[in-house]
Amino acid sequence: MVIHLLAQVDRNILLGFAPQITGELAINNAQYGFLVGAVWVLSYGVMAVFLGALADRHSRPRVIGAGMLVWSACTIASGYVQNFEQMVAARFLVATGEAALVPAATALLMELFSEKRRGTAMGLFYLGIPLGIGCSFLLAGTLGAAHGWRTTFHVLGIAGVVIGLPLILMGDKRSHSTTVQERGAPLKAQLAAVLAEMRDNRVVRYTVAGFVLAHLVYPGISFAQLWIARERGMDPATIAMTMGVMQIVFGSLGALAGGVLSDRLAPRFKGGHASVLALLMLLCAPFMIVYRLVPTDSPLFYVGMAVGIFMLMSLYGSATTAIQGAVPVRMRSTVMGFSMLLLNLFSVAVGTFVVGWISDALTTSGVASPLTHVLLVSDILALVLGGAFFYMAARIQRESARSLPAMGIKV
């Protein structure tokens, strides 16, 4: 969790220093959007697959350590850049290094924890996301205010190097295993095997689809400040503070509660973790829809905001456990990397672009509150499609559980 927190701080620290960096490097809004969007998504999404395959074939702690050294060295380099092009190169390589973490770390946690504790372990790991986002803004306002953005980048990079170096020396328990099948195949064969698994294993395919589609709520996070300021009339500084606190508090609660509830409830449902995921989305859906429709002076506005943040983070522990638990050990990191690729390219990059494009078109056509309309549709699509795919995965799981006793197999 500490490593994930550091990774999220390194990823989001650019947001905390946006005014200073864009001013000093003469970066315009379009360049800034490219820097925090496409540059990261293209590098992180694609490299997650390749580094996931590498983690399945070699020591996962060493892959994490190597990734840490790359992203930390490039975070240090980010503190020395003098123009937009140099910052693009540095951030592209930061994303490349960070792409090693989630696929390798989640597969490692699957090996270290029993089936009854995996959801909780994943929830603790993903706690790094809301805490990292919050800490990046806190660092920008404290260390950054006192010593500047360049020094903050240097300190963060050095901390990553110190943590990453010992990981390079570590092996994993597969190093002592005599079971060759626990190791991944060479890259081309590994990717072919993962695609075959996705094609033949409907539980995995539907769970990955649900996880990706549930992230269609992500544009609502990206456009939150613009939406609330322009169409709900709130002060931008108040919005930033409110959402920062909400992210830390309810994002952390979501990550922890999602993991714990998954461990407690999944054994009680024949559909396992997929049933828990569908249930979480069903319970949160009404509050998230009302959030888009009520005025900001309504308590339901803040309840809906909190529930939306909680819901998204609550999915991570259970979805990761469900996906990796349904595939062979030798391809767990690669499958997770493939999931990250789909999530970043489809829901984050394409989803955010389409929401912006449609809202601009509606504005040009004279439609009132365009972002409200588009974000409401985006949220509904996420809840309906994500929930539907989780439900289908749970139904297949239930049918499999019923068929095994009929074949004389105890479950």
pLDDT of residue 405: 44
Contact indicator for 386, 216 with CB cutoff of 8 Å: yes
pLDDT over threshold 60, residue 157: yes
When mean pLDDT is compared across 17-21, 206-210, 363-367, the lowest value belongs to 17-21
Alpha helices in 99-235 (DSSP H): 101-112, 118-126, 128-141, 143-147, 149-168, 187-200, 202-214, 218-222, 224-232
pLDDT over threshold 50, residue 353: yes
CA–centroid distance for 246 within its chain: 17
Distance separating alpha carbons of residues 348 and 38, to the nearest angstrom:
10
pLDDT over threshold 80, residue 176: no
233 inside domain: yes
204 inside domain: yes
Contact indicator for 127, 322 with CB cutoff of 8 Å: no
Average pLDDT over residues 22-47: 83
As a whole-number percent, the residues of the chain with pLDDT over 70 amount to 93
222 inside domain: yes
pLDDT of residue 219: 85
When mean pLDDT is compared across 106-110, 134-138, 194-198, the lowest value belongs to 134-138
pLDDT over threshold 90, residue 6: yes
Say which DSSP state 185 is in: P
pLDDT of residue 237: 66
Distance separating alpha carbons of residues 311 and 217, to the nearest angstrom:
10
411 inside domain: no
If 0-12 CB within 10 Å is exposed, 13-18 middle and 19+ buried, where does residue 405 land? exposed
pLDDT over threshold 50, residue 409: no
pLDDT over threshold 50, residue 319: yes
Q: Which of 49, 56, 60, 44 is nearest to 12 (CA)?
A: 44
Contact indicator for 270, 133 with CB cutoff of 8 Å: no
pTM score: 0.84
CA–centroid distance for 125 within its chain: 11
Instruction: Give the number of domains in the chain.
Output: 1
pLDDT of residue 361: 87
- H/E segment holding residue 12: helix 2-16
Alpha helices in 266-298 (DSSP H): 272-291
> Confidence band (pLDDT; 50, 70, 90) for 175?
very low
**CA-CA distances (angstroms) from residue 348 to 37, 212, 341?**
9, 9, 10
Question: Both tokens of residue 62?
Answer: 């060493």
pLDDT of residue 216: 92
Which CATH number characterizes residue 107's domain? 1.20.1250.20
pLDDT over threshold 90, residue 101: yes
46 inside domain: yes
83 inside domain: yes
Domain range for 313 is 2-406
Residues 364-406: pLDDT tens digits? 899 988 889 999 999 999 999 999 999 999 999 888 766 644 4
Neighbours of 26 (CB within 10 A): 9
pLDDT of residue 403: 60
pLDDT of residue 68: 95
Q: Which of 339, 59, 61, 325 is nearest to 183 (CA)?
A: 59
As a whole-number percent, the residues of the chain with pLDDT over 90 amount to 51
pLDDT over threshold 70, residue 173: no
Average pLDDT over residues 170-190: 66
> Confidence band (pLDDT; 50, 70, 90) for 80?
very high
